[in-house]
Amino acid sequence: MAQFLTPEAAAALIPDGASIGMVAPAPMAVVRALVKRGARDLHLVGVPTGGLAADLLIGAGCVRSVESSAVQLGESGFAPNFSRAAVDRSVRIKDST
Protein backbone atom coordinates (compact mmCIF):
# COMPACT_ATOMS: atom_id res chain seq x y z
CA MET A 1 0.00 0.00 0.00
CA ALA A 2 1.31 3.46 -0.90
CA GLN A 3 2.24 5.83 1.89
CA PHE A 4 1.81 9.57 1.52
CA LEU A 5 3.40 12.43 3.40
CA THR A 6 1.34 15.22 4.86
CA PRO A 7 2.18 18.67 3.48
CA GLU A 8 3.82 19.49 6.83
CA ALA A 9 5.98 16.36 6.70
CA ALA A 10 7.01 17.15 3.12
CA ALA A 11 7.90 20.74 4.08
CA ALA A 12 9.94 19.44 7.03
CA LEU A 13 12.15 17.56 4.53
CA ILE A 14 13.13 20.86 2.86
CA PRO A 15 15.85 22.48 4.96
CA ASP A 16 16.48 26.20 5.13
CA GLY A 17 18.86 27.18 2.33
CA ALA A 18 17.61 24.43 -0.02
CA SER A 19 17.25 24.85 -3.77
CA ILE A 20 13.74 24.08 -4.93
CA GLY A 21 12.59 23.48 -8.50
CA MET A 22 9.23 25.21 -8.91
CA VAL A 23 6.82 23.70 -11.42
CA ALA A 24 3.31 24.77 -12.35
CA PRO A 25 1.02 23.98 -10.78
CA ALA A 26 3.00 23.91 -7.55
CA PRO A 27 1.94 21.80 -4.56
CA MET A 28 0.33 24.73 -2.72
CA ALA A 29 -0.28 22.79 0.49
CA VAL A 30 3.49 22.24 0.79
CA VAL A 31 4.13 25.90 -0.06
CA ARG A 32 1.73 26.97 2.70
CA ALA A 33 3.44 24.55 5.11
CA LEU A 34 6.85 26.08 4.26
CA VAL A 35 5.46 29.55 4.97
CA LYS A 36 3.85 28.37 8.20
CA ARG A 37 7.08 26.82 9.52
CA GLY A 38 9.04 29.97 8.58
CA ALA A 39 11.40 28.48 5.99
CA ARG A 40 14.36 30.78 5.19
CA ASP A 41 17.02 31.37 2.54
CA LEU A 42 15.42 29.21 -0.15
CA HIS A 43 16.74 29.33 -3.71
CA LEU A 44 13.85 28.95 -6.18
CA VAL A 45 14.40 27.68 -9.69
CA GLY A 46 11.44 28.37 -11.96
CA VAL A 47 10.87 25.52 -14.42
CA PRO A 48 10.28 27.26 -16.80
CA THR A 49 8.77 30.15 -14.79
CA GLY A 50 7.66 30.90 -11.26
CA GLY A 51 4.09 31.74 -10.37
CA LEU A 52 1.85 32.13 -7.36
CA ALA A 53 3.86 29.72 -5.19
CA ALA A 54 7.09 31.63 -5.77
CA ASP A 55 5.36 34.96 -5.13
CA LEU A 56 3.88 33.70 -1.84
CA LEU A 57 7.22 32.36 -0.64
CA ILE A 58 8.93 35.64 -1.54
CA GLY A 59 6.25 37.67 0.23
CA ALA A 60 6.60 35.53 3.36
CA GLY A 61 10.35 36.19 3.50
CA CYS A 62 11.30 32.58 2.77
CA VAL A 63 13.40 33.26 -0.35
CA ARG A 64 17.05 34.28 -0.73
CA SER A 65 17.26 34.00 -4.53
CA VAL A 66 15.24 33.22 -7.65
CA GLU A 67 16.53 31.74 -10.91
CA SER A 68 13.88 31.85 -13.61
CA SER A 69 12.85 33.38 -16.90
CA ALA A 70 9.89 35.07 -15.16
CA VAL A 71 7.68 35.13 -12.10
CA GLN A 72 4.14 36.06 -13.10
CA LEU A 73 0.53 35.37 -12.31
CA GLY A 74 -0.69 34.77 -15.86
CA GLU A 75 -3.81 36.74 -16.70
CA SER A 76 -3.69 38.32 -13.23
CA GLY A 77 -0.52 40.20 -14.18
CA PHE A 78 2.77 40.76 -12.45
CA ALA A 79 3.64 38.95 -9.24
CA PRO A 80 3.60 41.82 -6.68
CA ASN A 81 6.00 40.32 -4.13
CA PHE A 82 8.52 39.34 -6.80
CA SER A 83 8.23 42.76 -8.45
CA ARG A 84 8.83 44.52 -5.12
CA ALA A 85 11.78 42.24 -4.30
CA ALA A 86 13.29 42.91 -7.74
CA VAL A 87 13.07 46.68 -7.26
CA ASP A 88 14.35 46.78 -3.67
CA ARG A 89 16.86 43.97 -4.30
CA SER A 90 15.82 42.05 -1.21
CA VAL A 91 15.99 38.83 -3.26
CA ARG A 92 18.85 37.96 -5.60
CA ILE A 93 17.49 37.33 -9.11
CA LYS A 94 19.20 35.42 -11.90
CA ASP A 95 17.48 35.84 -15.26
CA SER A 96 17.36 32.47 -17.03
CA THR A 97 15.82 33.53 -20.34
Angle between helix axes 52-59 and 80-88 (nearest 10 degrees) is: 50
What is the value of pTM for the model shown? 0.92
Q: Over pLDDT 70: what percentage of the chain? A: 100
Give the three-class secondary structure for 53: helix
Do 21 and 45 meet the contact criterion of CB atoms below 8 Å apart? yes
pLDDT digits 0-9 by tens, 48-82: 889 999 999 999 999 999 999 999 998 898 899 99
Residues 6+ apart with CB under 8 A from 30: 7, 10, 11
Q: DSSP alpha helices (H): ranges in 14-91?
A: 28-37, 52-59, 80-88
